[in-house]
């Protein structure tokens, strides 16, 4: 069996500080006791676990399973899978939003970010980004999220909040008629606020 460490996430403020390690060549993650430097347990997730993220309060662990296009939600209290959510093709890295209300997953095979609500663990939105997104990283301000796109060597900010917009503002993405731009972003009032251009 081939096992590779893809990503490590940690819960340092738990009673027992733990690290969560995805084993891409298998179907489980390893839970490590950081203080004792020993493997605490293994948690079966899905095929080819790729990314792992810990919720801001340390209660939940999210794991993207590239081999079966799912996200596993694990309780940090007992290291058991509580939910399995189907997402788009080839999920890569994922992150919890700063407020803990959403899980954002880079869907490498479909050029989008899938958004899961932590209120009911349901897929609530899919947002187009650049080609083959790999990493999705919320910023500490809670307003901006950066997504890396392997396919076109870009970083994209699809959730950017603009001056004068509320935190609940929703953006509409559309293909541009201008051959010099790849995608345009509109506010609900149809005003153009940003263009993401080609190289």
E-assigned strand segments in the chain = 5-11, 18-23, 28-33, 38-44, 49-54, 60-65, 70-75, 80-86, 91-96, 102-107, 112-117, 122-128, 133-138, 145-149, 154-156, 172-175, 181-186, 192-197
The closest alpha carbon to 123, from 133, 131, 114, 111, belongs to 114
Q: In this model, does residue 1 exceed pLDDT 80?
A: no
> Beta partners for 33?
18, 38
Q: What is the pTM of this model?
A: 0.75
pLDDT in tens, 65-104: 999 999 999 999 899 999 999 999 999 999 999 999 999 9
Q: How confident is the model at residue 9 (pLDDT cuts 50, 70, 90)?
A: low
Residue 76 falls within a domain, yes or no? yes
Higher-scoring residue by pLDDT: 53, 188: 53
Integer angstrom CA distances of residue 129 from 62, 112, 156, 190? 21, 5, 7, 19
pLDDT in tens, 101-134: 999 999 999 999 999 999 999 999 999 998 999 9
As for how many domains the chain has, the answer is 1
Higher-scoring residue by pLDDT: 6, 104: 104
Cα within 13 Å of Cα(39), Cβ side: 8
Domain that holds residue 36: 5-163
pLDDT in tens, 142-154: 888 889 888 888 8
Residue 177 falls within a domain, yes or no? no
What gap in Å lies between CA 74 and CA 82, rounded to an integer? Answer: 6
Residue 62 falls within a domain, yes or no? yes
- Give the CATH number, domain containing residue 139: 2.130.10.10
Residue 57 falls within a domain, yes or no? yes
Residue 191 falls within a domain, yes or no? no
Residue 64 falls within a domain, yes or no? yes
The closest alpha carbon to 31, from 48, 47, 54, belongs to 54
Residue 50 falls within a domain, yes or no? yes
Residue 40 falls within a domain, yes or no? yes
């Amino acid at each position: 069996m081939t096992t590779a460490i893809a990503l490590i996430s940690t819960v340092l403020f738990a009673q027992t500080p733990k690290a969560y390690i995805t084993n891409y060549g298998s179907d489980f993650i390893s839970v490590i006791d950081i203080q004792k430097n020993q493997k605490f347990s293994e948690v079966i997730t899905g095929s080819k676990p790729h990314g792992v993220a810990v919720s801001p309060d340390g209660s939940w662990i999210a794991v993207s399973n590239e081999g079966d296009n799912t996200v596993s939600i694990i309780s940090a209290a007992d290291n058991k899978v509580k939910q399995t959510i189907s997402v788009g093709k080839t999920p890569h890295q994922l992150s919890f939003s700063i407020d803990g209300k959403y899980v954002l997953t880079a869907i490498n095979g479909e050029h989008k970010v899938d958004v899961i609500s932590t209120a009911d663990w349901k897929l609530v939105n899919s947002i187009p980004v650049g080609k083959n997104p790999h990493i999705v990283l919320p910023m500490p301000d809670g307003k901006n999220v950066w997504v890396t796109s392997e396919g076109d060597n870009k970083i994209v900010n699809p959730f950017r909040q603009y001056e004068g917009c509320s935190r609940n503002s929703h953006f509409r993405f559309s293909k541009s008629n201008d051959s010099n731009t790849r995608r345009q972003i509109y506010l609900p009032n149809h005003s153009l606020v940003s263009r993401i251009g080609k190289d």
